[in-house]
Amino acid sequence: MEENPKNIKICDLCKSQATNICFNCLYNYYFCDSCHKFIHKKKENINHKTEKIDNILSIETRCPEHPKNPLNLFCLDEKGNK
């Protein structure tokens, strides 16, 4: 998964601008329309959960307390421990 400085998602296969994301392909692969159609017409990939990038809500990807760090998500136990 790559992105350029303008935060435009890049297709993980051909490096053009991505328009789709697949939640089943490896680690949430981004695809342009052409690559998306090619990969997801195959029998083993036809039922993958995909979505247009424009339909996905943006979330903050930087920690609000530590802006230089990426936002990390983790589970807490009943006592609040990681």
> In which band, very low, low, confident or very high, does the pLDDT at 5 lie, cut at 50, 70 and 90?
low
CA distance 12 to 35: 9
75, part of any domain: no
Give the number of domains in the chain: 1
pLDDT of residue 65: 76
CATH of the domain at 13: 4.10.640
User: For 55-80, how does the pLDDT look when each residue is reduced to its tens digit (9 = 90+)?
Assistant: 875 555 666 777 776 666 666 666 65
> In which band, very low, low, confident or very high, does the pLDDT at 10 lie, cut at 50, 70 and 90?
very high
User: CB neighbours of 31 closer than 8 A, spacing ≥ 6?
Assistant: 11, 12, 13, 18, 19, 20, 21, 22, 25, 39, 50
25, part of any domain: yes
